[in-house]
Structure 1
Amino acid sequence: MSDTARPMPRDDAALIEAAWLYYHDGLNQNEIAARLGISRASVVNYLAEARSRGWVRLHLDSDVFRGHRLARALCTAYGLADALVVPDAESSKGDTARVTQAAADWLPRLLAPGDRLGVSWGATVYQMANRVPQTPIPDLTVVQLLGSRPAAFGFAAEACTAVLAQRLSGDCINLHVPLILSSKGLRDALCAEPAVKRQLDALATCNKTVLACGTCDADAHVVQSGILDPAGMEAQRARGAVGVICGRLIDARGQAVECEVEERMIGVSLEQMKGKDMALLVAAGPRRAAPAAAALKGGFATHLVTGTALAETLLESAE
């Protein structure tokens, strides 16, 4: 095969030309149609195809949302270094998409060469990871914060970490152990294995984290994944549990609600999740109000991304 680039198919060449004229030269769709000798409908299709292939990535400056009055109020109320509040969508699903997109756009700007980024688990973190733009961060290490748990959800802990490492061109440290063992003795023995101990030691070196705080509802992820059964979760709620961070329960003040299963769990501790240079909490949807407030009061976040309605609820909870 010669070193000469293979000619681009004619339709792709027109597609790229249309995208260039629209996004770089500022021509409108009618002007592009006239320039290329095609219909306006074809121009619309070309631009949509360019976006779907990832050739065009639109970026809305996160500074716009950081200046929102609710963002400033949240920083004051919870002692945050920064917050980003996006407009609510018409549905909770749309809210989650907007919040995770905003967090994905913001995260690379919160990282620096040499950082060690610890990654939590869950649908919110996974959705955010998949939306992060390709942004190489030199000498970045991305660390899985808790062991693996078989799940059909598509957002296993190792997947969240691997996707982020790929998007940010970082080294990936996965925690190649189960999240829950059958006994404390087996858990302790496995943690003492040199290979596992090295992975666990990496957890303590993370200077930045990205996390979500899960609910303690009957259909919470920790219930669906079998970490706790419905009766066990109900019992923990009766003890005051309102949120879940990396598989560990917290109450409304952000304090640990200890339960037996944690003795058999391999992963970051709640204390190790505190005191970071940057800890980005991603919170979307009305059901996340109590968990998010608990995480903020417990000092697990320095930065927050959320929607307007949840931001207002969080301000009420801070009073």
Structure 2
Amino acid sequence: MASKLRKNSQDKRALLANVALLYYGEGLTQNDIASRIDVARTTVVNLLKEAREEGVVDIRVDGKSLASSTASLRLRDKYGLEEVYIASTLNEAKPNSPEEVMRQLGRVGSTALSETIQQGDRLGIAWGLPVQAVADQMLVTETPGVEVYQMIGSLISDFVPASEKCSIDIATKLGAPCYTLHAPALASTVEVAAILEAEPTIKAQLAALKTLDTAVVSIGDVTDTTPMALSGMVTRQELARARSAGAVGILCCRYIDRNGDLLSLPPDDRIIAARLDDIRRARRRLMVVGGDSRVEATRAAIKGGYVTHLCTDKSLAEMLLTDPSNEPAMR
């Protein structure tokens, strides 16, 4: 069997298809398939994984089913959202690792995106671990006419997946062109930021973000471990001042207060990214967010009108449901 695995790409895809049919079509176990084709079970696992990644097998989950749970409907109605998708790892008796929780959030988020995006959309992509998890878990699904736009300038960080990587990965899965933002996320000075934003190419790229049909974003908290701090974009002193000024969340590198309003605090005047109003203008606004520490930020984002579709984990969903305050009116 090893020789079969070394055949050309066309033969390899045929092998992947046949293994997928045995597993998904006939219901054979991985051990059964391994015995039938005379390979190790780990080889079968890898072949099935490759079949999904290469688009040989397309496993689709009905997003409407994910959004039909009692908790999803309660959250939708409480906050006036169009759809709410809740990611659950299902085994409450055995706590899952943060990595597995994030993967499941990405799986559900990718399904939510597939349900939300429409043909011909201008799709804006922000940054962060949840957005990258969506990109990682997406199936290869070409969507006619879609164009992908990077919403936040470039960044080199070991802690935060940059907007250009998230955008390129999602565009690749969709078979769509990707328009990257040719500027840093954070300019060195206010003057440099103004010069860069005035450059014709960058100016045109930023203008395109004002005409998005769908935006995919996440939101950070304002703790010292927020991605903005870990990436070196803000200092602890700046964060402390932002908290004192009423900041509860960070959306597209910009501070928002409890009402979802922009707080023009450093380094806002050096940020090169979509404006908050650009997100509000998008007809469909998918926020993918998890973690208990982001409950206040998520409420603020919803109240500010930055969310029409919410994908979250079970823990955060429960916290949003038990919030004693009245539901915020969306803008």
Correspondent of 1:282 among 282, 288, 294? 288
Q: What corresponds to 2:233 in structure 1?
A: 227
Secondary structure of the structure 1 residue equivalent to 2:322: helix
Q: Retained in 2: the 8 A contact 1:129–1:163?
A: yes
CA drift of 1:60 comes to: 3.2
Aligned residue in 2 for 1:307: 313
**Structure 1 counterpart of 2:74:** 73
The answer on 1:215 being equivalent to 2:221 is yes
Conserved in 2, the CA contact under 8 Å of 1:122 and 1:221?
A: yes
**1:86 corresponds to:** 87
Partner letter of residue 143 of structure 2? I
The alpha-carbon deviation at position 58 of structure 1 amounts to 3.9
Letter paired with 1:77:
K
Matched, 1:126 2:129: no
Shift of 1:10: 10
Partner Cα separation in structure 1 for residue 196 and residue 32 of structure 2: 66
**3-state SS, counterpart of residue 274 of structure 1:** helix
Larger Rg: 1
Q: Distance in 2 between matches of 1:77 and 1:272?
A: 25
Distance 1:138-1:9 versus aligned 2 partners, 3 A rule: closer
2:98 counterpart of 1:101: no
Report if the CA contact (8 A) 1:289-1:314 is conserved: yes
Equivalence map 1:106-117=2 (5 Å): 106-117=112-123
CA distance in 1, matches of 2:8, 2:169: 32
**Equivalent position to 2:47, from 43, 47, 50:** 50
Range 49-58 or range 177-186, more displaced: 49-58
Q: What's the offset of the Cα at 1:316?
A: 2.6
User: For residues 12 and 167 of structure 2, what CA distance do their matches in structure 1 show?
Assistant: 37
- The one-letter code matched in structure 2 to 1:139 is G
Question: Which residue matches 2:190?
Answer: 184
CA distance, structure 2, for counterparts of residue 106 and residue 174 of structure 1: 23
Aligned pairs, how many? Answer: 310
CA 8–176 in structure 1, closer or farther in 2 if over 3 Å, else same: closer
Change (3 A) 1:57 1:191: same
- Inter-CA distance 227–20: structure 2 relative to 1 (3 Å threshold): same
The aligned residue for residue 22 of structure 1 is 23
The two structures have a TM-score, normalised by structure 1, of 0.88
Q: Once the two structures are superposed, what CA deviation does each residue of 1:155-205 show, in whole Å capped at 9, x if it has no partner?
A: 111111111111111111111111222322222122111111111111111
CA RMSD of aligned residues (A): 2.6
Q: Gaps spanning 5+ residues in structure 1: where?
A: 1-5
Aligned-residue offset at 1:209: 0.3
- SS of the residue corresponding to residue 167 of structure 1 reads helix
